[in-house]
Amino acid sequence: MFVEHLPDDRGQAHTLEAFTAALLLVAGLVFATQATAVTPLSASTSNQHVENQAAIAAQDVLTTAEASGELRAALLYYDDGFVGADDEYYTGLPNASHPLHGQLREAFDNRRIAFDVDVYYPAADGEGLDRTRMIDMGSPSDNAATASTRVALYGDDRFGDSDQYVLADDGPGGYFAAPVGAGDTLYTVVEVRITAWQM
Amino acid sequence: MSADRAQTVLDFVVGMSVFLVAVGFTFAFVPSLLEPYAVGEGATVIVAERGAARLAESSLAAAGSTATLSHACTLAFFDGTDPATAAAESGCDWTANGDDLHAELGVDDFRGLNLTVTRNGTVRTLDPGGANVTMRAGPAPPRDRSVAAASRIVAIDVDPEDDVGRETHRLTLRVW
């Protein structure tokens, strides 16, 4: 049955070789599993589905808030810094009196998703866009998703803690955005941008 | 035993078992290496996203708006109202109610579907004068299978009488 190698007295060496070969094979496989543990399709914070869901949630928040007027109310909830904020802007979910509190909590905060809300508007000198932070939770990750919408603000819109100011009269000094031109009705058009990412 | 037989039966058994164990290990591990690239799982994700979009943007949505649900259509959908009645009374867009999600979303029967409308993590109810209608459709998702979920943030007029009582809800469609 066995092929005779004459003279051959090195059986031990052959067994050792078999063990070494098996060890190499297993080590190679283990290394390969570790190397492919995270692929573009495995569930992680950079998963495409997670990004899509964050983008859809952000867009839905903007769409529903704009339709109900709460987005405009949130933009006008400003009195030398957004009302109730520690440092002109919120660093977390705004308190319950904020118009967007419900939407943002349902969409992001309950899910432990971080988000920034930025407002872009034409600069006072007419060159480019300026940005004011409404909510800032830090720097977005590389896999953040964004959604944005534009809101027109009119001269007779009222802003402040209890709507005590009128944009056309008090806006140029007290509101963050400067008026565009000398329009009688339109004050400015701002772009609200939500950036959301998995923490 | 002759003195010049270096390879014994014992050596052969050890070598062979090591070889077989290594081969078995290889066969057990290669499928798990390829699993992340396997197709099939991705389809449920797409079905979930498209289905949730269909429900939030046309089936249950109020006229001329996305992501804002019509109170009457949502109530009738989960109520089990006849599609023809709902279309005639409230102008709803859906063709099959919550009892037959597969027909409404055009999904094959072998897939499982579960639809919930939640707020703060709990399934909410609509109140058509006394009888609460839970906004839930389809069987509970299985625990032993991979379930894909897609969510939309929607606003519902909880009380259709006044326009102010619009609340934010999460519409979630689970597919398996």
Taking 80 as the threshold, does the pLDDT of residue B41 lie above it? Answer: no
Least confident of A90-94, B40-44, B140-144: B40-44
- Whether pTM exceeds 0.80: no
Taking CA–CA distances from B165, the nearest residue in chain A reads A68
Are residues B37 and A63, on separate chains, in Cβ contact within 8 Å?
Answer: no
pLDDT digits 0-9 by tens, A31-48: 887 776 565 555 566 678
Q: Calculate mean pLDDT across residues A107-126.
A: 87
ipTM value, please give it.
Answer: 0.72
Taking CA–CA distances from B64, the nearest residue in chain A reads A67
Are residues A32 and B33, on separate chains, in Cβ contact within 8 Å?
Answer: yes
- A199 — pLDDT class (breaks 50, 70, 90): confident
Taking 70 as the threshold, does the pLDDT of residue B167 lie above it? Answer: yes
Nearest residue to B49 (alpha-carbon basis) of A69, A143, A134, A51? A51
Q: Calculate mean pLDDT across residues B67-71.
A: 81
Residues of chain A neighbouring B29 (CB-CB closer than 8 A): 29, 33
Taking 70 as the threshold, does the pLDDT of residue A58 lie above it? Answer: yes
Residue B125 β-bridge partners: B134
- In this prediction, residue A100 carries a pLDDT of 87
Q: Yes or no: say if A73 and A155 are a contact pair by the CB < 8 Å rule.
A: no
Place of tokens 């109610």: B97
Taking 80 as the threshold, does the pLDDT of residue A148 lie above it? Answer: yes
CA distance A78 to A160: 5
Are residues B67 and A63, on separate chains, in Cβ contact within 8 Å?
Answer: yes
Taking CA–CA distances from B122, the nearest residue in chain A reads A106
Taking 70 as the threshold, does the pLDDT of residue A192 lie above it? Answer: yes
Count of Cβ atoms closer than 10 Å to residue A87 Cβ: 10
Are residues A42 and B36, on separate chains, in Cβ contact within 8 Å?
Answer: yes
What residues does each domain of chain B span? 40-175
Q: Chain B closest CA to A15's CA: distance in Å?
A: 6
Give kind and range of the element (H or E) at residue B68. Answer: strand B68-69
- In this prediction, residue A193 carries a pLDDT of 93
Residues of chain A neighbouring B4 (CB-CB closer than 8 A): 6-9
Q: Calculate mean pLDDT across residues A113-131.
A: 87
